[in-house]
Structure formats: structure tokens, C-alpha cells
Amino acid sequence: MKRQLILEDGTFFIGEAFGSTEKMVGEVVFNTGMTGYQEILSDPSYCGQIVTMTYPLIGNYGINRDDFESIEPYIHGLIVKEVCKIPSNWRNEMTLDEYLKTKNIPGLAGIDTRKLTKIIRQHGTLKGAICDLDVSIHEVVESLRSTNLLNDQVKRVSTKRAYPSPGRGHRVVLIDFGMKHGILRELNKRNCDVMVLPYNATAEEVLRLKPDGIMLSNGPGDPKDVPEAVEMIRGVLGKVPLFGICLGHQLFALACGADTEKMKFGHRGSNHPVKHLTTGKVAITSQNHGYTVNEQSLKRTRLQVTHVALNDGTVEGLRHLDYPAFTVQYHPEASPGPEDANHLFDEFIGMIEQFKKEGEMVYA
């Protein structure tokens, strides 16, 4: 069945529908990863977005039981050049089409995704709608223009209530702004006794759990839409070692007095080089963000830039000069993407241990 994608600038692409036949509006973005579509479509950070995969053949290895990054996907649509109807992989359980149908997510195949990608690159991310052919393009464009995109994505995707993921090691409070399972997995791997809290947990609620460390997760949207989190971070900063990823990084920057801004089309893919300024070493990282920390705004803070994106120089990592706290814009938990930055979780554990030791010395 033919359906179409209409962009707010009036461009439209007619393709073959797969997944659900729902009409869906969202911010159209692209991801350059050649593998990892299952992780991408289940990454809550894509909440409210229609994702275009630049690699043309998607769905080749099907959908398996293991590679979801959240239980429910929040993506608003998936656009590909070709969707694989008969996948082949030993873990395959269903086709991408079947999965999107069960989750009521529309997909569109058979369009010139490279052309679409170039439009996004040139104009920046656009609003778009996946819909049937019998609509008036003009009307859809009008309504897209007047529609405001979601601003409550974090609320939508965060856990509604706290829950534990017990372990025998350090206690880490993990604030779920739209957490990928990968973060939890990495903490569990390191025996952490994890308490997952909703995005709007207060500093008191966090501290009451007597954490050894606090982890700020990734999540969707504009960090400025989550002022309660900024408040909470201010309340815990310096009291407990802190590590933030992606949205967590941006919220941390806001809490420390820096500013964030929207990027033209963001960073989404598995091949983003990030340079560690101290060692000069580059890690290839997995990224998914449409906002970034404004570098100029860091001047008035006690934050130091530790990592930058090699290609556009944007801020990719921060460290607090006075407190045990560091954050990165990219995804050290990978899935999908390279695991080059996985050691950051070890550094977080190291920081927790160092803080404990120093604390013991102070209070000895």
C-alpha cells in the first residue's frame, strides 16, 4: 500500500507502507548507523521523532528478543529505502514490519532516503507526517507548521515509579529520563546496586537512598523542558559522585549554569569521533542528540570541557572543577554502536571509590 511522508516545507515522498497505517507526526531526523535499527527504534530518546535510516537495507537480521533498549518504543515512524521481508539471522524472531505493526508505529519504504537526508542536512530537522495518499498536502503542511512538537517527552518515557535493580556493589541511583537498558546493563555488569528513579525525583528523594553515585540517563527532547531535573541536580551536586549521559549531560550543564541550544540536525549515528582533550585520543562513539551545550556559556561556570566532537567541535564531555562529576554527550553504553567509550563506566566506579576513600579520610 502506497503512503507518503510530507515535510513542513512541502516536500513529499511517496513510498510503500509497512508497520502500522496510523497517521503520525514527528520531527524527521536521520541516523547513519548501518546496523542497530532494533536498538534505535527502541531508544526512548527518539520519542516523538520519525527516524530515517540512511543505510538502504533495513530489517535484514529481523527483530530479536534481546536487543531492545526499552520495553516500549516511542519512535513516531521509521523511514527506509528497503525493508527486508525475509530476514536471516539465528536470533531473528519476527520481521521489522511485524514488530512495527504490533507496536502501532508507521513505516515507509521505497523512497530516496538520501534525498531526504540531504534535505534535513540543508534545512535542519523538519516536522513531518506519515500519512495516506488521499490527504491534501497543502492542509498537512499547514497543520505541520502550526503544530508544536512535543515538549513532555521525558515525562512520557520515564518510569512512573522507582524500582530497584539489586546488586551487591556500590549503590547507584539512576535517574530515568528515557533510559536505554544499556546503561542499566553496564551498571549491573559492575555489580552496582541500582535504584532507578523517575525523572522528577527530588534531591531529597535521591539522597534519602544514600547513593554512592548518581547516574543521569539519556532521554529525549530539549533539556530545558525538564526544569525539575535541573533543580534536583543542583541539590545533589558535590554530595555524591555523578555521571551523566546525553540528556543527563545537558541537564548537568544547565544545573551548573551553562546553556544549551538546538542543533541544526544533530548527531545520530554510530561513527562519531570524539576527542579526549587531555590524552588527544579519539573514540568512535554512538550518538543521538539534537541539542548541545553551548561552549561560550561554559565560561561563567566551573565546568571544564573534557571531550569535543572532532568534526564540528561541539562539546561532548564535561567535568566539574570542584566536585566529583563528569558527563558525556555520547553513549558509552553503545548498543547500538561502538564500545570504545565503555571504560567511562569504570571511571565512574573509580570516582565512587575515590570519593569514598577521601570521605573516610575526611571523617576519620
Partner 1 sequence: MPKRKDIETILVIGSGPIVIGQAAEFDYAGTQACLALKEEGYKVILVNSNPATIMTDTEIADKVYIEPLTLEFVARIIRKERPDAILPTLGGQTGLNLAVELANAGVLEECGVEILGTKLEAIKKAEDRELFRSLMKELGEPVPESEIIHSLEEAYEFVKTVGYPVIVRPAFTLGGTGGGICTNEEELIEIVSNGLKMSPVHQCLLEKSIAGYKEIEYEVMRDANDNAIVVCNMENIDPVGIHTGDSIVVAPSQTLSDREYQLLRNASLRIIRALGIEGGCNVQLALDPHSFHYYVIEVNPRVSRSSALASKATGYPIAKLAAKIAVGLTLDEIINPVTGKTYACFEPALDYVVTKIPRFPFDKFESANRRLGTQMKATGEVMAIGRTFEESILKAVRSLEANVYHLELKDADKISDERIEKRIRKAGDERLFYIAEALRRGISIEQIHEWSQIDRFFLTKLENIIRYESVIKENIGNLEVLRKAKMLGFSDSTIAKLWNKNEREIYEIRKQEGITPVYKMVDTCAAEFESETPYYYGTYEDENESIVTKRKSVVVLGSGPIRIGQGIEFDYATVHSVWAIKEAGYEAIIINNNPETVSTDFSISDKLYFEPLTIEDVMHVIDLEKPVGVIVQFGGQTAINLAAELEARGVRILGTSLENLDRAENRDKFEQTLSELGIPQPKGKTAFSVNEAVRIAQEIGYPVLVRPSYVLGGRAMEIVYKEEELLYYMENAVKVNPQHPVLIDRYLIGKEIEVDAISDGETVFIPGIMEHIERAGVHSGDSIAVYPPQTLTPSIKRKIVDYTIKLAKGLHIVGLLNIQFVMYKDEVYVLEVNPRSSRTVPFLSKITGVPMANIATKVILGTKLAELGFKTGLHHESEGVYVKVPVFSFAKLRNVDISLGPEMKSTGEVMGKDVTFEKALYKGLVASGIHIRSYGSVLLTIADKDKEEAIDLARRFYHIGYQLLATSGTAEALKAEHIPVTVVNKINADSPNILDVIRQGKAQVVINTLTKGKQPESDGFRIRRESVENGIPCLTSLDTAKAMLQVIESMTFSTTVMPKFAKFQEVIHS
Which residues are at the interface with partner 1 (CB under 8 A)? 30, 32-36, 38-39, 54-57, 60-61, 64, 66-67, 81-82, 84, 86-91, 111-115, 117-118, 121, 269-273, 275, 280-282, 284, 310-311, 334-339
Query: Of the residues 8, 69, 316, 333, which is catalytic?
Result: 333
Distance CA(225)–CA(89), nearest Å, equals 40
The question of whether 246 is a catalytic residue gets the answer yes
Nearest CB to partner 1, comparing residues 8 and 333: 333
Q: How far is the CB of 298 from partner 1 (least distance, A)?
A: 22
Largest CA distance in the chain: 75
- Distance, in Å, from the CA atom of 59 to the CA atom of 83, rounded to the nearest integer, reads 6
* Cα 107 to Cα 95: distance, rounded to the nearest angstrom: 13
Residue 290, marked binder: yes
CB of 276 to partner 1, least distance (A): 10
Our CB check for partner 1 shows the closer of 88 and 146 to be 88
Check whether 221 is labelled as a binding-site residue: yes
Question: Least distance to partner 1 from the beta carbon of 174, Å?
Answer: 23
> Active-site residue 333, yes or no?
yes
CB 254 within 8 A of CB 182: no
Annotated binding-site residue? 288: yes
Could you give the C-alpha distances from 239 to 46, 211, 326, in angstroms and in order? 32, 10, 14
Residue with cell 502501532: 104
> How far is 110 from 158, CA to CA, in rounded Å?
34
Smallest separation (angstroms) from partner 1 to the CB of 182: 11
Q: Of the two residues 104 and 311, which places its CB atom closer to partner 1 in the complex?
A: 311
Nearer to partner 1, 64 or 143 (CB): 64
Q: What is 124-173 written as a DSSP string?
A: -SEEEEEE-TTS-HHHHHHHHHHPPPPS-HHHHHS-SS-EEE--SS-EEE
Angle at alpha carbon of residue 23, lines to 40 and 116, rounded to 5°: 55
Closest CA to 330 of 348, 321, 318, 346: 318
Instruction: Give the residue with the Cβ less far from partner 1, 137 or 162.
Output: 137
DSSP character for 85? S
- 291 assigned to a ligand binding site: yes
Helix (H, G, I), strand (E, B) or coil at 283: strand
Q: Is 33 annotated as a binding residue?
A: no
Whether 316 is a known active-site residue: answer no
Residue 304 is labelled as binding a ligand: no
Helices and strands (H and E) in the chain: how many: 10, 19
The minimum distance between CB 107 and partner 1, in angstroms, equals: 17
Counted residue by residue, the chain has a size of: 364
Task: Label the pairing between strands 315-320 and 303-309.
Answer: antiparallel
Hey, what amino acid is at 116?
Answer: L
CA proximity to 316, closest of 341, 338, 349, 353: 341
Q: Is position 104 annotated in a ligand binding site? A: no
Nearer Cβ to partner 1, position 133 or 282? Answer: 282
- Pick the closer one to partner 1 by CB: 113 or 288: 113
Task: Give least dist CB 350 to partner 1, A.
Answer: 20
Q: Which of 47, 192, 246, 256 is catalytic?
A: 246
Instruction: Give the integer Cα–Cα distance in Å for 48 and 100.
Output: 15
Backbone torsions φ then ψ of 197, nearest 5 degrees? -115, 150
Which residues fall in the annotated binding site for L-glutamine?
45, 219, 221, 247, 250, 288, 290-291
Active site residues: 246, 331, 333
In the annotated binding site, the residues are 45, 219, 221, 247, 250, 288, 290-291
